[in-house]
Chain A
Amino acid sequence: MHISRSMEVFVGLFVAIGLIALFFLSMQVSNLSASSNGSGYNVRAYFENVGSLKVRAPVSIAGVKVGRVTAIEFDAQEFEAVVTMTIESKYNQLPIDSDASILTAGLLGEQFIGLEPGGEDEFLKEGSRLELTQSALVLEKLIGQFLFNGQSGD
């Protein structure tokens, strides 16, 4: 088969455009660009109940995302959930007595961890533990409490 110059050019363009599409998918349409700066430090927090918090959920302060949840485990000694989160290293001046609470984005949104800065001079570092935590609100418990309070008030 005769191969003309234009045919080669078109094949080259085709392969190039296909690779650009793949590059676009990995950089713009996925989290590769966001998660590649993986340098950060890990902190732990113990919660009585994590609700439906998922690994990779955002960690935010004042509504700004500063990190991600990297692991959720159950501690059989303390009977609590251990949430490990990675906070980006540029946010390395958070007071050590900051408190963590599990919040929900919107009414039906996913759950995330909101940090509230404390007042100490010491900063959080690799391996620190957040002492002050507030568990996720479980709707069933809330309704149960509400009903119970209503009955006892009669």
Chain B
Amino acid sequence: MLGYFQRLGERSLSMLERLGRGTIFFLKVLMAIPSVLIRPRLLIAQLHSVGVLSFSLIVVAGLFVGMVLALQGFYTLSDFGAEGMLGVMVAASLIRELGPVVAGLLFAGRAGSALTAEIGLMKATEQLSGMEMMAVDPMARVIAPRFLAGLISMPLLASLFTAVGVLGGHLIGVGLLGIDEGGYWSQIQAKIDFREDVMNGLIKSIVFGWVITWVAVFEGYDAIPTSDGVSRATTRTVVHSAFAVLLLDFILTALMFGGI
């Protein structure tokens, strides 16, 4: 009985400790960001590996999510003779929820895991301590550019996902199901509010980009420097950032749209 409580206490203490280390790590990253702005070439290399290489995945996923939403939405809406609202349904669900969340989950799987594995392997092969020996700050040289690249890429990728999804819905709705072209856009423009919907979706994607990249670089930096440790850290990145995205999405949705 006492052993059970002891294990529970140990678990919670170590969780709190990780959270504290993560926060201190985040503050250190923030302090290292100015030195990245002096050397923008570091950032460009990371924007390429984090953003550009996720590009095709996001475009294809967005297109298919939009097309499936249109097909399924049409099935329900046609029962009520409200096919004209298809565009609104596709655009609202993509802008408010699916765009930031699905793009975030894909981003965590595609870019977050790669970040953790790369940094973890750098640590395991003692490249990070090598840098410190040469008086090069690994925070400024390795961690901060990656963090900033993730923070910049995620809102762009989420916007891209949403835009391609709306176009995919248009492709299916107007091209295949025969909804009026003008009605599709005019219904969307009548219903979707710029500040209420588009801006809130953008805020969501920025928050998700922040939390995913933070978890990814911290797990890599904090990994046990063995092949097993790096593998565990990579798994943890995907699982923890997915949970964080879903939890934060619920909180943000309740704050943004809860009153409606």
Contact = CB atoms under 8 A, between A and B. Distances in A.
Interface of A: 1, 3, 7-8, 10-11, 13-15, 17-19, 21-22, 24-26, 28-35, 56, 58, 108
Nearest to B99: A25
Given A11-B47, A30-B198, A56-B193, 17 more contacts: A3-B44, A7-B44, A7-B45, A7-B48, A11-B51, A14-B48, A18-B155, A18-B160, A21-B159, A22-B155, A25-B159, A28-B185, A29-B189, A29-B198, A30-B194, A31-B190, A31-B194
A14 B156 contact: yes
Nearest to A15: B156
B56 to A, nearest CB: 11
Q: Is the interface of A mostly helix, strand, loop or mixed?
A: helix
A26 to B, nearest CB: 6
Leading 3 A-B pairs by shortest Cβ distance: A18-B156, A21-B163, A32-B194
B241 interface: no
15 contacts: A1-B42, A3-B44, A11-B47, A14-B47, A14-B51, A18-B159, A21-B159, A26-B198, A29-B95, A29-B162, A29-B198, A30-B188, A30-B192, A31-B189, A108-B80
Q: Is the interface of B mostly helix, strand, loop or mixed?
A: helix
Interface of B: 41-42, 44-45, 47-48, 51-52, 55, 80, 82, 91, 95, 152-153, 155-157, 159-160, 162-164, 166, 185, 188-190, 192-194, 197-198, 202
A22 B157 contact: no
B54 to A, nearest CB: 9
B91 A108 contact: no
Contacts of B193: 30-31, 56
Contacts of B152: 15
